[in-house]
Amino acid sequence: MTAAAAPTEIPGPLPDPSANGSAPPRTAPQARPRTALRTKISSMRTALIAGTAVLAVALIFVIQNAHSVDISFLGAHLHLSLAVALLLAAIGGALVMAAAGTARITQLRRIMRRDRHQPIQGQ
């Protein structure tokens, strides 16, 4: 013998408060996206893995380009491996780029330091 449960009433839709212009419609709260925790050790591990991959690619490059070439630059004459010559050229280019970037950062820091010590006009 089972007793029949009384049907429960499902309430209808709530009245829209924005219908009379009194309040804006409510929106569902947005969940914040989860961010991964980054620690110094996890960053170091990622950097070591990336460095190992770059080293492996560089090693393959050196092995495949081991034949010697003659290089002349500004009166200097060298006879060395093609891979070494290209790696030296890449390092030289990176140093020139780093020098230009350092000069620009130094210039911007001087401007910021100068502007920090000047009073604001109109006050």
The pTM for the full model equals 0.48
pLDDT tens-digit map of 102-120? 999 999 999 988 888 777 6
Residue type, 4: A
For residues 85 and 71, is the Cβ–Cβ distance under 8 A? yes
* In the predicted structure, residue 1 carries a pLDDT above the cut 60: no
Read off the DSSP letter of residue 36. Answer: -
pLDDT of residue 26: 66
pLDDT tens-digit map of 2-24? 555 555 555 556 555 555 556 56
Alpha-helix runs per DSSP H in the chain: 40-64, 82-117
pLDDT tens-digit map of 23-71? 566 676 676 776 767 788 888 888 899 989 988 988 888 888 888 888 8
For residues 82 and 93, is the Cβ–Cβ distance under 8 A? no
pLDDT of residue 19: 55
Q: Is 62 exposed, middle or buried (0-12, 13-18, 19+ CB in 10 A)?
A: middle
- The dihedral through the CA atoms of 49, 54, 55, 56 has a sign that is positive
